[in-house]
Chains A and B, each alone.
Chain A
Amino acid sequence: MIRVDVSKTLGGFFIEAAFDAPEKGITALFGPSGAGKTSIINMVAGLLQPKQGSIRINGRCLFDSRKGIDLPPERRRVGYVFQDGRLFPHLTVRSNLTFGMRRVTRTSRYVGFEQVIGLLGIGHLLDRRPATLSGGEKQRVAIGRALLCSPTLLLMDEPLAALDEPRKAEVMPFITRLAREVAIPILYVTHAWQEIQTLADTLIVLSAGRVAASGALDQLGGNSDWSIPAAGSVATPFPLPS
């Protein structure tokens, strides 16, 4: 179980979000731009410090304001796939992939190099440099790089948002396979409803820094009250379910 309970003021904008996510499958953090989705997963990754609250993954404490615990990002074992990939331009694809892996002890690795490159179909790219890859290939390498650290949780911040439609269609099946074949919880930030329908198992709806609704997708998915406006428009506040 992943338990997040954080609050922070960010330049006049108040985030106060508490939610649980299952230790399996993809949990989508869904909401319009400015709902605080990225800020929340940055807090989980240790890139942004909450003012108050706690963050736990399967009982392991990453942050607790009352106990004064705040692990630095490199010790959280939380993988992060950024919207813009952020591959290291001076390293080959192979060195990018093994950058984090080399710092994980063999006993705490649960995925192997061959398994990951097979899963993501990036075996033919290993000797190339990031500048020569297409957008979809870059994101697959970025996913592989985060996964090879054998993280206890994988964060994905709109990993498809920077891609055009064909590239999105290219990468999405890999994420589905990933969730199915590697038993790792994924927190998936998006404001695209279509991605949620394809990928998510659990849904957390955020609005103006607060959790507006949460639960399994099959329970929430039929509720068109908030799903339809959210897919297109960005600023529509979500009606709170009673």
Chain B
Amino acid sequence: MTGWMPTAIEIQALRLSLWVSMWAVACSLPLGIAIAWLLARCEFPGKTLLDGFVHLPLVLPPVVIGYLLLVLLGRRGMIGEWLHGNFGITLAFNWKGAALAAGTMAFPLLVRALRLSLEGVDPRLEVAARTLGAGPLRVFFTITLPLMTPGIIAGLLLAFARSLGEFGATITFVSNIAGETQTLPLALYTLTQVPDGESGALRLCLISIGIAMAAVVASEMVSRWYARRLKGVLREAR
């Protein structure tokens, strides 16, 4: 036992994990809202197919997703080569790729939460806003999106927690490079593979539990706060 203080490598893994997960959920939010909108509000041929496709990461082995990302977005992959050639963007074996892998794996959870909250928004309120002079885009940003807020926050926190735990797709797509792609679960895995790694693994275990709990509790608190706000309990003057 070397004590309870985390080592530099563990802190690095923790910071990288938070960074990667933050980018993963931030970038998938707009796409998530668009997909949730399609699924909740639109009728079109192939809707069931899209729904199934979005849910794939939930049911496929993460390694499959990681391998598909590698084939498509690796340096020699179809999209990866094009991205690198035209924009100089490389996703393989760096933190951006880790964020993509984490975002992909968390995407179904995000879309589910967003879709549920969108289905809870009363379209009659949007109609009322139209008669008050607001165009469709303005209605979306002033009525629909604010009313979706609890679902957005819940979805973000859930996806964030899922991203933090991402292992299989990440290690397949971007490997396990300390300081670049070695997130918390990957560092934990590495520690279990070396002698005398138990105490470090245990610390990372506790950190993971702590972050996950914090995310779930925060999500719960935010949704309660928002529900109270809608009921008007928080008003100050009367």
Contacts and interface: CB of A to CB of B under 8 A. Distances in A.
B131 A129 contact: no
Q: Looking at chain A, what size class is its interface with the partner chain?
A: 20 to 34
B235 A128 contact: yes
A84 B127 CA distance: 13
Given A73-B131, A99-B142, A86 B125 contact: yes
B222 interface: no
Contacts of A88: 125, 128-129, 143
B128 A149 contact: no
Contacts of B237: 127
A35 interface: no
Nearest to B130: A73
Contacts of A226: none
Interface string A68-101: 0000111111111010101011101000000110
A132 B135 contact: no
Nearest to A145: B132
A100 B238 contact: no
A109 B223 CA distance: 39
Interface in B96-141: 124-125, 127-135
Contacts of A216: none
Contact of B147 (A46, A75, A90): A90
A130 B236 CA distance: 14
Contacts of A78: 131
B230 A127 contact: no
A103 interface: yes
Contact of B232 (A103, A128, A145): A128
A106 to B, nearest CB: 14
A147 B133 CA distance: 12
A120 to B, nearest CB: 16
Tell me the interface secondary structure of chain B in the complex: helix
Given A47-B127, A86-B125, A100 B235 contact: no
A127 B235 contact: yes
Nearest to B149: A90
A220 to B, nearest CB: 29
Contacts of A74: 130-135
Contact of A99 (B132, B147, B229, B231): B132
B85 interface: no
B73 to A, nearest CB: 39
Contacts of B146: 90
Contacts of A72: 130, 135
Contacts of A89: 125, 147, 230
Interface in B182-238: 229-232, 235-238
B230 A79 contact: no
Contacts of B147: 89-90
Given A127-B238, A132-B235, 7 more contacts: A79-B131, A86-B125, A88-B143, A90-B147, A100-B132, A103-B134, A146-B132
Interface of A: 45-47, 72-80, 82, 84, 86, 88-90, 92, 99-100, 103-104, 127-132, 145-146, 149
28 contacts: A46-B131, A47-B127, A73-B127, A73-B130, A73-B131, A74-B131, A79-B131, A82-B124, A86-B125, A88-B129, A88-B143, A89-B230, A90-B146, A90-B147, A90-B230, A99-B132, A99-B142, A100-B132, A100-B133, A103-B132, A127-B235, A127-B236, A127-B237, A129-B231, A129-B235, A131-B231, A146-B132, A149-B132
Interface of B: 124-125, 127-135, 142-143, 146-147, 149, 229-232, 235-238
Across chains A and B, which 8 residue pairs bring their CB atoms closest together, nearest first?
A: A100-B132, A129-B232, A132-B232, A86-B128, A80-B131, A73-B130, A103-B133, A131-B232
